Amino acid sequence: MLVADLLWKSFFREHDVLIKWLLLFAGACALYLWIKGKKQTKLDRDEAAKLKAERSKVVEPEVIVRCLHCSVHLPKSEAIQQEDRFYCSRDHLDSLDAQGWMGSAAWRISPNQDFRAEDLAPDLVVIHHISLPPGGFVDRSSTQFIVDFFQNKLDVSLHPYFQEIADQRVSSHFLISRSGEVYQFVSTQKKAWHAGVSSFFGREKCNDFSIGIELEGDSNHPFEDIQYSALAKLSAQLSAVYPTLQFAGHSDIAPGRKADPGIQFSWNKFQAKTGISLKKIPFGLDPR
């Protein structure tokens, strides 16, 4: 036994450094495995929590909306939205619906309207100009005043001119702002109050059979190119539904009483942009 003890002590003395490194390595391995185990446990716990959360989620159904033009139902994510309305295609957005409303226009319904005679479709477009206050669009945006005026909401305290027109009750089917935005106030199937006392080749009361389009502007300033483009597009959209439409100015149907759209409106540019037959512009292309 003494000899054996001596041999072991001699072995340990000769291999002391090696044994220490082996013990250190073993300790390091054990620590690594312990840390790895802790991490794996956390990953497993997180994954389990994630799976539990996903299983507990309530799947929200896709919102379904209705195309206002054709009434087809479709997911909201696939629809084209205009204000609070939805359309299934660009064609339906850019056309009149069955109630006489233009999908691409901003709808601002006016109370100033009447029913047309039964089965009487409009066959005339009357082009006007309007500015509130007069020339107000030159140095600031004043379109909203026109919108308010057609809806009987104009605050007359904001300008002296507004007090002069406070009792007037008028409207138009459409308004094209200086920036080219199109507003609609009255369905094309109904009468807007835009023409007043008027006559078109012997036919009195033009409101009965016409569509009124107001251009924001006056007789002293040229109209914007974007307004001509918007007017051309609108004219084509209307003509697609009412193919017999003719086009005239307010001054053509109420000569001496009205002067709009005025000398600044280019009938040549209008005709060039629309390609409308000259027969449908019976008062000609000369400025007036």
CATH classification of the domain holding 195 = 3.40.80.10
Same-domain status, 209 and 84: no
- Tell me, what's the pLDDT at 61? 84
- Tell me, what's the pLDDT at 236? 97
Q: What is the pLDDT confidence band of residue 31, given thresholds at 50, 70 and 90?
A: low
Question: 179 or 45: whose pLDDT is higher?
Answer: 179
Set 118, 214, 216, 224: catalytic member: 214
Same-domain status, 72 and 174: no
- Tell me, what's the pLDDT at 60? 74
Domain count within the chain: 2
Same-domain status, 79 and 179: no
Q: How far apart are alpha carbons 152 and 169 in whole angstroms?
A: 7
Q: Note whether residue 64 is domain-resident.
A: yes
Question: 11 or 215: whose pLDDT is higher?
Answer: 215
User: CB 106: neighbour CB atoms within 10 A?
Assistant: 15
Question: 6 or 197: whose pLDDT is higher?
Answer: 197
> Which residue range is the domain that position 68 belongs to?
60-93
pLDDT exceeds 60 at position 204: yes
Same-domain status, 156 and 67: no
- Tell me, what's the pLDDT at 17? 58
Q: How far apart are alpha carbons 259 and 201 in whole angstroms?
A: 18
pLDDT exceeds 70 at position 190: yes
Interaxial angle between packed helices 267-274 and 225-241, expressed in degrees from 0 to 180 and rounded to the nearest 10: 50
Same-domain status, 245 and 127: yes
Mean pLDDT of 103-129: 96
Same-domain status, 163 and 271: yes
In this structure, is the dihedral angle defined by the CA atoms of residues 148, 155, 250 and 223, taken in order, positive or negative? negative
Mean pLDDT of 168-178: 98
Q: What is the pLDDT confidence band of residue 147, given thresholds at 50, 70 and 90?
A: very high
For the chain, the C-alpha Rg in angstroms (whole number) is 39
pLDDT exceeds 60 at position 227: yes
Q: How far apart are alpha carbons 168 and 166 in whole angstroms?
A: 6
Q: What is the pLDDT confidence band of residue 45, given thresholds at 50, 70 and 90?
A: confident
Same-domain status, 82 and 163: no
- Tell me, what's the pLDDT at 119? 86
Which residue, among 189, 63, 173, 88, has the nearest Cα to 125 in the 3D structure?
173
Q: Is 4 exposed, middle or buried (0-12, 13-18, 19+ CB in 10 A)?
A: exposed
Q: Note whether residue 152 is domain-resident.
A: yes
236-271 confidence digits (pLDDT tens): 999 999 999 999 999 999 999 999 999 999 999 999
- Tell me, what's the pLDDT at 64? 95
Known catalytic residue at 214: yes
Same-domain status, 71 and 127: no
Q: Note whether residue 123 is domain-resident.
A: yes
- Tell me, what's the pLDDT at 118? 87
